[in-house]
Structure 1
Amino acid sequence: MNKFWTVFNHTFLSKVKAKSFIITTAIFLLFIIVIANLPTIISMFDGDESESKDRIAVLTQEDQLVSTLNERLEVTDETITLEQADFAEEDIETVIREEEYAGVLVIQPSETTIIEPIYYTTENQWETEMLLEQLLQQIKVELATNQAGIDQAIVTDIYQPIPFQTELISKETGVEAKSEEQLSSTRGLVYVILFLLYFAVITYGNMIAMDIANEKTSRVMEILISSSSPTSQMFAKILAIGAVGLSQMSLFLAVGYAVILNKKDELEGGFFEYFGLSDIELSTFIYAIVFFLLGYFLYATMAAMLGSLVSRTEDVQQMMMPVILLIVAAFMIAMFGLSTPNSQLVTISSFIPFFSPMTMFLRVGMVDVGMWEIALSIGILVLSIAILAILAARIYRGGVLMYGTSTSLKDFKKALLLSKK
């Protein structure tokens, strides 16, 4: 057992102290801080220019239109200000090029559409253009109804949106279905966990295989197997690099939480309520941890097994291709399942061990799943990890003794034969 912890500590400390780990972690932390303060950073570069950019001149014969538009802009967008133009239409190009205004809106009467607006600007401002178009469309409807003698209150009632609601009913009697708010919140959590598992498998699985290949390349493996059993080495490396990943992700979450708390004045109702996590059941968080850990151990065991078959770090990527294809396929099915969690493809794949860490957790979060289905999926996954661990331990025992070019899955047989010696 002491030898197990020796390998564990050596692997953990060597990865944490590596320059690549430190630089990558620092870059991600900086990225989190920048994203959290992005509006502040943008405003620093904008300076006082924002005021002039939001000024729009309106050239029209109907002076009331300008005040009406300004009243509605105060409700929808306070950053835009409309001003009555004090220049002629032939001076529009000169005014625009001098950048005195962000744009010039010309509103002319029309026999067919009542008003005919034209917006002049030097750059694409699609948000401003869409907003002005919507407001002018509303004004056009009001003018048309007034000309037709229709009461404006009637028009307002016609355009009033209906209170459409969706009530979900559980397929099982006595079980309360999840509300629309719970589904929206859970969908966000599922999305995050799927990305975390995908990132963990690709990054840390490749790290396990690369670490084993490095030790074989430097002949350190020959010293290690003389002092510790290959099986003990394999599980020590899997757990150590898993601890590295957990430490890195915990650091990301801690910094992200600290940055968000720094903006506590913007939080309404607390951290979880602000991000829509207060409606998520506690069991969903527990399942997220369970399936994340089981998914990591499944793919990490495969990575250690495949990494033991190569002798050069250059061959690791090629040997890891089956693992990458499996996790990509699982991720794609899960992304498809976010919109159709009850589909037959998602249901079947939730019982296939290579896909179930993502797809069964997706189903648990998004739909009502019977406890027997969850237990069966977890049972199959645990059994698969156990079988794969036994097979991987044998292949690892023989694979660490193999040197030379090994980039084919045919080397499994050779590794198994060596493990018996």
Structure 2
Amino acid sequence: MTEFSIHKVWIIAKREYLERVKTRSFLLSTFATPVLMGAFLVLPAMISESMARGIVRDSERPARVVIASDNRALAELASGELMRQRGTRYAPSVVSPASPAEHEQLDKRVDAGDIEGYVWLDGAARASRHVVFTTSRMGDFILEHRLGDALSYAFAADRLVEQGSSSGDVAATLRPVDLKAVRAGKSSSAYNAVRGAAVVLVLMFVMLFSLLSYGVMVMRSVMEEKSSRITEVLLCAASAQELMTGKILGTGSVGLTQIAAWLAMAAFGASRSLYLRTTMTVLDVGPSLIVYFVVFYILGYLLYSAIFAAVGAIFNSIDEAQQWNFVIILPLIAASGLILPVATSSDSPVSVAVSLFPFCSPILMFERLAVHDPPRWQLALSLVLLVATIGAVMFISGRIYRIGILMYGKRPTIRELSRWLRHA
């Protein structure tokens, strides 16, 4: 057996890296992907905010809403609460007393676009608590939700005042509660399911994108060199294990280069954009989380790319190999279906078990780290199991690769693969 040469692995990895990183597809995906992701993430929020503030037609005009009622105190309570709503500007006004003539006049103002809508609070509406909001902008769910909250506050406050409470007592009684969940025994560790879900969705996209692009790239490279018999020439200068390791490391370095470019663009955007800085602050994306992301991405790539390399060595055509792509990434697809249960119940036995499973841990253990800190022994055990699995998969894939890249003709059976493992 020849000695494993790090220098030969470096030469092969360098060749694979330079060959991939200079392509137009790499440059296009590196710079187009963040733009598309930003468009899909930012545009819906901008459209919703635009509708809620009425800036589609006038960027300086807040949403104008009229609250019409024969009970001025109730209408003013609702108007004041609506003005205190955070995040969206409103300009509510009160019409009292509300007569049938005022009703017709408000309809005309809505049709003319002078106001976004009006609420009609007559005696029947107050008694039944079924209030009608007449508007020309159907589908403005943010305005409807905030207006409903303001009316609920006004009805409750009006009821307390009727029972003899002072205005100060009413404000203190109806003040919302700021609730934050923390993990037992670690009061400084906040449980943030929103942060975990948002961050892990980004990780999932990057992980699946990298596996489907760079993992398949490793497989295609192996199959192209096998079909063109270039492998036979390369084996004269390097062993099969060195060739496979160099391909995996070289192609993986391309993926890391792309991720580094995305992180650099995100950091530059955060330094220039208040919106991005606020988002990063809310999600609490700190250096430690970035380090965990890079670690689990590298380990996940090494695990799955070794499988892709073995599949590329087994088959003789791209069509035959692509049928196994879904089987290879099936654990990651299963992990994606467990994102919400793990985020909402991070310390349950099932969540702990699936986050320790090596083929799912790049996604699910990272999610638990993003939500809140799991016990250190679980993180250590997850890394140990993942590294051990990578070693086992590398060993098995290397033996299959050593025989498979020189085998042509029909597709091998399971019995033949087991024979390769014994005699490689």
TM-score by length of 1: 0.78
Q: Secondary structure at the match of 1:241?
A: helix
- Tell me the alpha carbon deviations over residues 186-228 of structure 1, each in whole angstroms, 9 at most, x when there is no partner: 8466665555444433432222112222333444434433443
**Compared CA separation, residues 386 and 26, structure 1 to 2 (3 A):** same
Q: Distance in 2 between matches of 1:117 and 1:397?
A: 74
Task: Find the counterpart in structure 2 of residue 299 from structure 1.
Answer: 304
> Quick check: 1:276 aligned with 2:284?
yes
Task: Find the counterpart in structure 1 of residue 113 from structure 2.
Answer: 99
**Compared CA separation, residues 247 and 126, structure 1 to 2 (3 A):** same
**Compared CA separation, residues 409 and 341, structure 1 to 2 (3 A):** farther
How many residue pairs match? The answer is 407
Tell me the CA shift for residue 47 of structure 1.
Answer: 5.6
Tell me the CA shift for residue 245 of structure 1.
Answer: 0.3
Unpaired segments ≥5 residues, structure 2:
none
Q: Distance in 1 between matches of 2:162 and 2:358?
A: 68
- Tell me the alpha carbon deviations over residues 286-337 of structure 1, each in whole angstroms, 9 at most, x when there is no partner: 5554443222212111111111112222223212333211222344446532
Task: Find the counterpart in structure 1 of residue 64 from structure 2.
Answer: 55
**8 Å Cα contact 1:57/1:83 also seen in 2:** yes
- Tell me the alpha carbon deviations over residues 121-171 of structure 1, each in whole angstroms, 9 at most, x when there is no partner: 23232222222222223223333344444444444444345676656444x
Compute the RMSD of aligned alpha carbons: 4.0
**Compared CA separation, residues 377 and 135, structure 1 to 2 (3 A):** closer
2:270 is aligned, of 260, 273, 284, to 260
Q: Secondary structure at the match of 2:132?
A: strand
Task: Find the counterpart in structure 2 of residue 173 from structure 1.
Answer: none
**Compared CA separation, residues 113 and 202, structure 1 to 2 (3 A):** same
Q: Distance in 2 between matches of 1:80 and 1:360?
A: 43
Tell me the CA shift for residue 88 of structure 1.
Answer: 3.9
Structure 1 outlier segments of 4+, above 6 Å? 39-43
**Compared CA separation, residues 164 and 103, structure 1 to 2 (3 A):** closer
Q: Distance in 1 between matches of 2:207 and 2:125?
A: 61
**8 Å Cα contact 2:55/2:62 also seen in 1:** no
1:113 is aligned, of 102, 124, 127, to 127
Task: Find the counterpart in structure 1 of residue 81 from structure 2.
Answer: 72
Q: Distance in 2 between matches of 1:184 and 1:22?
A: 34
Question: Bigger shift: 57-66 or 311-320?
Answer: 57-66
> Quick check: 1:8 aligned with 2:8?
no
Q: Secondary structure at the match of 1:82?
A: strand
Q: Distance in 1 between matches of 2:382 and 2:154?
A: 59
1:125 is aligned, of 137, 140, 143, to 140
Q: What amino acid maps onto 2:63 in structure 1?
A: D
> Quick check: 1:200 aligned with 2:215?
no
**Compared CA separation, residues 101 and 285, structure 1 to 2 (3 A):** closer
Q: What amino acid maps onto 1:20 in structure 2?
A: S
Q: Secondary structure at the match of 1:245?
A: helix
Unpaired segments ≥5 residues, structure 1:
171-176
1:137 is aligned, of 119, 144, 152, to 152
Question: Bigger shift: 355-364 or 292-301?
Answer: 355-364
Residues 82-93 of structure 1 mapped to structure 2, 5 A cutoff? 82-83=92-93, 88-93=102-107
**8 Å Cα contact 1:33/1:256 also seen in 2:** no
Q: What amino acid maps onto 1:90 in structure 2?
A: E
**8 Å Cα contact 2:62/2:91 also seen in 1:** no
Q: Secondary structure at the match of 1:179?
A: strand
Q: What amino acid maps onto 1:118 in structure 2?
A: V
**8 Å Cα contact 1:3/1:228 also seen in 2:** yes
Q: Distance in 1 between matches of 2:46 and 2:338?
A: 38
Task: Find the counterpart in structure 1 of residue 393 from structure 2.
Answer: 388
Q: Distance in 2 between matches of 1:300 and 1:246?
A: 14
1:23 is aligned, of 16, 19, 28, to 28
Tell me the CA shift for residue 250 of structure 1.
Answer: 0.4
Q: Secondary structure at the match of 2:119?
A: strand
Tell me the CA shift for residue 83 of structure 1.
Answer: 4.1
Same amino acid, percent of matched pairs: 23
Tell me the CA shift for residue 16 of structure 1.
Answer: 1.6
**8 Å Cα contact 2:119/2:134 also seen in 1:** yes
Tell me the CA shift for residue 261 of structure 1.
Answer: 0.3
Q: Distance in 1 between matches of 2:416 and 2:38?
A: 46
Q: Distance in 1 between matches of 2:14 and 2:125?
A: 82
Tell me the CA shift for residue 389 of structure 1.
Answer: 1.7
**Compared CA separation, residues 392 and 117, structure 1 to 2 (3 A):** closer
Tell me the CA shift for residue 117 of structure 1.
Answer: 3.8
Q: Distance in 2 between matches of 1:115 and 1:161?
A: 21
